[in-house]
Structures are given as structure tokens and as C-alpha cells.
Amino acid sequence: MSTLKKALAVSVAAAGLTAGAGAVSAQEITYMCSSDGTECSTAREIFDRFEAENPGVTVKIDEVPYKAILESLPVQLAAGTGPDMAKVTDLGGLNKFYLDLSPYVDTAAWEENFGGTLDWYRASADDKGIYGLHSQLTITGAYINKTLFDQAGVAVPGADATWDDWAAASRMVAEKTGTDFPMAMDRSGHRIAGPAISYGAKLFDDNGDAILVDDGFTAYVQKFVDWHEDGTMARDVWAGQGGSSYQDAAQEFINGQLVYYYSGSWQVGRMDRDVGDLFDWVVVGSPCGAGGCTGMPGGAGIVGFSDTEHPELVAKAIDYLAQEENYAEMTAKTKNIPAHAAVAAKGVDYAGASAGAAAALNAWGAQVGKLEGPAFMYQGYKNNRAMFNITVQRVTQAIVGELSVEDAMMRAKEDLAQALAEAN
Amino acid sequence: MLMILEPVMRVIEWPIKFLQDKLGLKNPAWIFLFPNLVLFGLFAFLPVILNFAYAVTGTDAILLSDRPFVGGSNFTALLDCENFADPNTCRDDLFWRAVWNTLRFVVLQVSLMVAFALITAIILNREIRARGFFRAVFFFPVLLSPVVVALIWKWILQREGILNAWLDGMGLETFNWLLDRSWAFGWSVFLSVWAHMGFYTLILLAGLQAIPRDVYEAAKMDRASPWRVFRRITLPLLMPTMLVVLVLATIKGVQTFEEVYAFTGGGPGSATTLIIQYVYETGFAGAPRLFGPAAAASLLLAAVLVVLTIIQLWINRKNVDG
């Protein structure tokens, strides 16, 4: 063998050995992430440290639109081609695909810090597994354009004001200031649930089975439809769409065309950035009804999937995010309400947030105590997305006059029965 | 040309002859068709078979092995109506709203589109100035993506859109065009006509140009009026092309989805929800994903399209046979 051939053979063998050794030690996991603001970039910063502490480990972040998480991820998971971990919002609905982290993490610490949200990821009350890190606790409620109230000389209703009080005040402000719309609510079944519970909706029967429609629910829907008819609520948001597609009214609020906007805590960053000094905006939480003054808890969490080839590593990565200092950093940078008990107890330093945003985040934090039982139960129910979609579809039909409220509610009950019969 | 192909033919001659010797004269054709048949079968026949399988199975499971057989219950659920003309009496009212919307949409869209395409083709067939430019202008919307078409018209028609700005500027009353059920439906038909008319204009233009000039010259010598020329010469000789256009436009109209979905989302309520949107939302966008009812609805739609296609084939054959 010539010298050249020998050199080549040695080089090829060395390259092969190096590649082989690399393949043995290198572990890559994929994290499918969607972002309302800085969620994915913040996760990247924290995972950079994780990678530095765990040589050979790579966390690849696949940033996708939220729609992909809702529509593509479940199909990928069913086909066994999903990522190793993902940020999800259909918390209980995807439970059958989750990786149980409990064999790999300190379960006592997780129960202590995330006890309030762990159930949302579980399949049933008997399920004691640990499946998800609730990274983004949200709560629904309202923002008002305080500047418009001041200009109109209308007093801002107090903390125990009812929906009717807010509707009357918003109408008065809109009329006096020539604002386009008194009120608007995001087109979402999740959004309307809090007000409905405040009107006495239970959503579940005494056995814990989903019913969606009861007298309280119907009463709020009737009120909601009436407000669309008399111009209290902006028709564009709910009546301007078909199917169960989501639509918010944030841009109308930011443009100063809206007095009262019912959305949620995740809009703080957007308000802070886009409203700026144009007007004063204030978080006023959820108005009251006969059943309380509740919004809906919610948000997103990070879960691992049981099909992963690296279950221990996935659990380790999620556990790293759950560590108090990392979780506090994530909450502060993404401007969210903490679901981690210790972080919440110490308070979050929203460094870089404006005074208005910091005040809003604290105001949202104060709303958590007002949440009613059915709201937690609804958020944790695995088929809640079906109920949200049915609500949007049928309530919209009542708003545009395709169905009466009574017929819409009857159809909603039938839809739910069919959905539950088909759901695995 | 033959000189170029000759060496190639020599190379492939031997295996063909070999196969013909071994398998006879007819069988080698199947062997050469096999790769194409496999691909076609995989991407055309298999999905159709799978669609049947999903239509007769239940639950929201995506894997067929996890889906129990439910027979024709998905079809009976869709067809369970006291009065088919009134969606409120149907078990799946949304399906029937979509069916009736689609029917109204197709009738309106096709009749308007064919009428305008015919008028446009007749005008563009005349010796007018800048004829090439106008032909391009009418054809241009066909090149646009349906989503782009929808967004353009949404920008024009939304509450703070260009049309309302213009009306406001003229001191006229503005209107929320997309929030009114009838207006939203009407605009959906309009934008669909606008987007597709150019294609049918082109076909009709070709049909017009195929009519012999001497027939018109003879009519001119007989001092026939333009209207009489149109009724007695143009329309009868254009009829075969018109029928093809009519059937093609009807099939395309039944399949309409993207532009209306991007334009109104099927709203307000379900005023502009068409049948394909129903299939998409039931099977893919909803929760749980009801693959069974969606597959059953798509098969019912396919049955309608098959009928329309048979009509088209029948018309074509009739034309060929004279």
C-alpha cells in the first residue's frame, strides 16, 4: 500500500471513529415553541446555560406559529412524528401523548411549587403523574381606556361593580367621547366562560360531567347577544367571523376606538409596547354577577412527549426551567404571572417593564384569588377545547340572528354530546 | 429528429424485444406503466380508499387501527333532516347551511361569471385599441393566489377599508359590508367572479376566434343587425364552448374554499360557510377532530362532482359526435 493510500485509510478510520464517538455522546432534543412575545427567545437563553452545564446536549428550538401548535402538533403526535417537547395550551387534551416526568424529577418539590396547575395536565383525578411545567399562567379580565373615562367625566366603577354597571358606564363614556365601541370581548370560548361563571354557570353537573349549558350560562349568553344588538358590544369581533376562529379586539383598543376591552393578562406586553403614552390603560379584572367576579385561569405549559428517545433528558430540561431562579427569569422576561408558588410568594421583579405594565401585572396577580371553582375545573378539563369551539360557533349564530339564544343553546348541548361521544 | 432519437431507440430496443419475446406483445406495456401506476395509486387511489375507511369509522383517533367501525352512521347523521330546505330541522344544521350556501353560491357565481365572461370576450374579440393590454388586465386576477384576492377585497370592504374611506370622503354614509349576512355573501360571490372570470373569458375568446369569418361577412352582406348576428350566429356556434365553460365553472364553484375562507372566515355566523369549509373545520380545525363526519361529507360532495363530471363528458361526447 502506498504512503498516500495508508494516509487516506488512517484519515477515514479516524474520521469514522470521531463521528461514531460523537454519535454516542451527542444528544439532541427538539422543543416546539410558539411565542406571544419573548417566550421562545427567553427559553433559548436559559437552554444555552443548560447546554453549557450538560456538554454534548443540544436543545433545538423550533419556533412555530401558535396555529401550528393547535392544529399540526396533535396530528404529528398521533402519527408518532412529534417533537420531544413543546409549549402547549390544550393542556389536558393532549394528555395521552405526555411523558410522565415523575420518575426523573423531585415530585415533592413539583407538588409544592406547581400544585395548583399539575392537575390541568392530568388525564383524570386518579392520575398522579407530573406532565407539564405551567410556564405562562394567564387570567382573563378587562382593560379600560382610563383617559376616555376622564375625558367623559364618568367615574370608573369599583371592584365589585357588575357587568351591567360596566356596560352602562362604557356606553356613557363612548357616547360622550364619540368613541366607536363601548365594549368588546375576544372571540373565544375561553374568554366568555369567566363572565358566564360569574352569572352562575357551572359548566359541569354534580357528577363532574361536562354539560356546558345551564341557566347561568344561558343568562349570560342572552345578555351578551342583547349587548351586540344594542351596540354595547363591538359586532366586528364576534359577528365578523365564521366557524370557531379566534379574533381579538386588541387593535381597536390600542387605536383608542374602544372603552372597555375584555381579554386577559397576556396582552400586558402588547399594551405596554403599542399603547405607550397614547392614553392611560388600566386593568380592572372581571365584573361581578350572581355567581362571583371570576375570570378564567389559563395559559401555556411546557410538556415532554412519551415517544421521545431521550425521556430522561427531556425531563431534565423541563426540570431545569422549573428551577426557581430560571422560572423567575422566564416569568420576568416574558411578563407573565408566575404559577410557581415560591416565585409568586417572593414576587417577580419585572425589570425593564414600564410602571404601567408592572402595575397591570400586579393587578392581574390580585385577580387570581377571585377565581371560582368551575373556572379551575373548566381549565383543567381535557375536552374543554371542544366546549370552547362549540360556544363560539353557537353564540355567534345567536348574535347574527341565525338561531335564537334558546335554539343556539340546544344545539350547543347536542354538539357537546356528539363531541364527547367521539372523543377518545 | 429521428437521427437524434435513433441511438436512444437502439439502446432501449433490446430490453423491449426481450420482454416481448418472453411475455408476448401486450404485457410489456403494463410493466412500463407499473411505476406510474404505483405513484398514481399511492397519491390518488389510496387517499380515496382511506377516505371511505374514515367515513365508516368513528372516534377522533387518526390511526385507522384505533377507529371502530360505525357503518353508515356518519352518513345518516348528515342526512338526518325533517325538511332538507330548512337547516334548522336537520340534525347537523351546519352541514345543511353549508350545502345551501354552496348551492346559492354556485348558481349566482356561475351565471354571473359566464355572463360577464361572455360579454368581456365579445368586446375583447373586436378590433379595439390596446386590445392586448385589456386582455392582460382581465386575465391578471387569475394569476393571483386566492388568499391574496381575499385580502385585497378585505382591505377594500372592511369597516375601515378603502370603500368606506371613499364613501366617507364623498360625504356618504359608511356601511360595515362584511357584518351584514347578505352583503357578505354577495361580496363573496363578487370576488370569486372577479378572480376567475379571466380564465373563462380566455376560453370563450378562443371559441369566438374559431368561428369562421366568412359567416360574419355573409351576414354583413345580408345586412343582419348586430343583435341578430349575435343570436343567430355567434351564440349557436359558441354553444359547445359555452357548455364546457358552464360545467367547468360549476365544478370549480362547488370546490370554492380558500378565497371565501380567507375573506370572511365563513361568517358572519355561517352566512358564507361553504361545504369545503365545513369539511375542513369538522375534520381538522375543530376539537375533537371529527374525521368520520368530515370524510362522509367529502364523499357526498364527491358524488355531486362525479355527477357534474359525467354531465360534462356527456356534453363533450355529444359535441364530438355532432
Helix ranges (DSSP H) in chain B: 2-23, 27-40, 46-55, 73-78, 93-124, 131-143, 146-157, 162-169, 181-209, 213-221, 226-229, 235-254, 258-264, 275-280, 291-321
All residues at 6 or more sequence positions from A227 whose CB lies less than 8 Å from its CB, including other chains: A167, A183, A233
pLDDT digits (tens, 9 = 90+) for B209-268: 999 999 999 999 999 999 999 999 999 999 989 988 998 999 999 999 999 999 999 989
Candidate from B66, B264, B290 with C-beta closest to A242: B264
Contact A93 B287 (CB under 8 A): yes
pLDDT digits (tens, 9 = 90+) for B29-82: 777 788 888 998 899 899 999 999 999 999 988 889 999 999 999 999 999 999
Of all helices (H) and strands (E), which one includes residue A259?
strand A258-264
pLDDT digits (tens, 9 = 90+) for A134-151: 998 999 999 999 999 999
Interface check A243 vs B, CB under 8 A: yes
User: What pLDDT does A20 receive?
Assistant: 44
Of all helices (H) and strands (E), which one includes residue A112?
helix A107-114
% pLDDT > 90, chain B: 69
- Banded model confidence at residue B26, pLDDT cuts 50, 70, 90: low
User: What pLDDT does A12 receive?
Assistant: 47
Cα separation, A65 vs A49, in Å, equals 25
Q: What residues of chain B, 81 to 110, have a C-beta less than 8 Å from chain A?
A: 88, 91, 93-94, 97
User: What pLDDT does A116 receive?
Assistant: 80
Average pLDDT (B176-187) is 95
Task: Please provide residue B185's backbone torsions phi and psi, each rounded to the nearest 5 degrees.
Answer: -65, -45
CA proximity to A121, closest of A333, A300, A288, A318: A300
Q: Which three cell numbers stand for residue B154?
A: 378585505
Asked if B216 and B233 count as a contact pair (C-beta separation under 8 A), the reply is yes
Q: How far is B197 from chain A (nearest CA, A)?
A: 26
Using a CB-CB cut-off of 8 Å, the residues of chain A touching B269 are 239, 242, 396-397, 399-402
Peptide bond preceding A374 in cis form (omega within 30 of 0) = no
Cα separation, A64 vs A109, in Å, equals 31
Mutant choice from B73, B90, B91, B93 vs A, greatest count of A C-beta within 10 A = B93
Asked if A182 and A260 count as a contact pair (C-beta separation under 8 A), the reply is yes
Cα separation, A267 vs A263, in Å, equals 7
Interface check A80 vs B, CB under 8 A: no
Average pLDDT (B12-21) is 78
Q: Which three cell numbers stand for residue B175?
A: 356601511
Residues A402, A404, A410, A412: what is their CA dihedral angle, to the nearest 10 degrees? 50
Interface check A168 vs B, CB under 8 A: no
Asked if A100 and A323 count as a contact pair (C-beta separation under 8 A), the reply is no
Interface check B174 vs A, CB under 8 A: no
User: What pLDDT does A71 receive?
Assistant: 82
All residues at 6 or more sequence positions from A20 whose CB lies less than 8 Å from its CB, including other chains: none
DSSP label at A97? G
Contact A241 B265 (CB under 8 A): yes
CA proximity to A348, closest of A366, A369, A368, A332: A332
Which residue stretches of chain A have pLDDT < 70?
Answer: 1-25, 424
DSSP lists the bridge partners of residue A63 as A33
Interface check A16 vs B, CB under 8 A: no
Please report the number of interchain residue pairs, chain A to chain B, with beta-carbon separation below 8 angstroms.
103
Candidate from B60, B159, B284 with C-beta closest to A422: B60
Q: How far is B287 from chain A (nearest CA, A)?
A: 5
Please state, as a whole number, how many other Cβ atoms lie within 10 Å of the Cβ of residue A265: 29
Using a CB-CB cut-off of 8 Å, the residues of chain A touching B267 are 239-243, 396, 400
Query: What ipTM does this complex have?
Result: 0.84
CA proximity to A318, closest of A330, A336, A335: A330
Q: At CA B158, angle to CA B155 and CA B163, rounded to 5?
A: 75
- Maximum pairwise Cα distance, chain A: 97
All residues at 6 or more sequence positions from A75 whose CB lies less than 8 Å from its CB, including other chains: B62
Cα separation, A182 vs A232, in Å, equals 5
Question: Radius of gyration of chain B from Cα atoms?
Answer: 26
pTM score, whole prediction: 0.85
User: What pLDDT does A266 receive?
Assistant: 87
